Homo-oligomer: A and B are copies of this chain.
């Protein structure tokens, strides 16, 4: 939901986009199919970059060998892979250098900003500076755009409706189910955003 809205936002801002998805060994791999479908529909190049975050450990989203505690009282913590956004942005910047792209659009929203330190502007500004300094081309200035960082999810959704985002084609469920389970954290947040706008999620129809 956020990523597709971000894509439409970048296009609306006039950018020519290379769409990038991350195959990080996530349980909800079905989101990669959705991304491919959406990019194809828009006629955009789409690259899936693989990085197995399961090997890092620490997250129930990827670590199939990890016991998920029955009484997990802090579910947000258990979906954290340390520095995940640093890895994704760096991979995108590396790939971008090979295709001549210096600007990255990344989609954290206000709820992420409040929960995760690597979803905040000071981090993205600092990382962009590091990536600029490390790029092979001395003149390269890497920029990381996060147009939704100050917007709550419902505001992102509102923006998406204005942009004509085909939410029917998106995927959000952490359990990777289609139709979505409606019960996992990701589904609940999505459904809450639709409800707050008085809209029906087309995936739940």
Contact = CB atoms under 8 A, between A and B. Distances in A.
A144 B198 CA distance: 50
Contact of A130 (B94, B98, B126): B126
Contacts of A81: 94
B98 A94 contact: no
Interface residues of A, number: 39
Interface string A125-148: 011011101111010000000000
A158 interface: no
A98 B134 contact: no
Given A82-B94, A83-B93, A133 B123 contact: yes
Interface stretch (A1-9, A38-46, A52-60, A176-184): A52-60
A188 to B, nearest CB: 23
A22 to B, nearest CB: 11
A199 interface: no
Interface string A45-80: 000011110011110000000000000000000001
The 5 closest A-B pairs by CB, nearest first: A118-B134, A82-B97, A126-B130, A127-B130, A83-B94
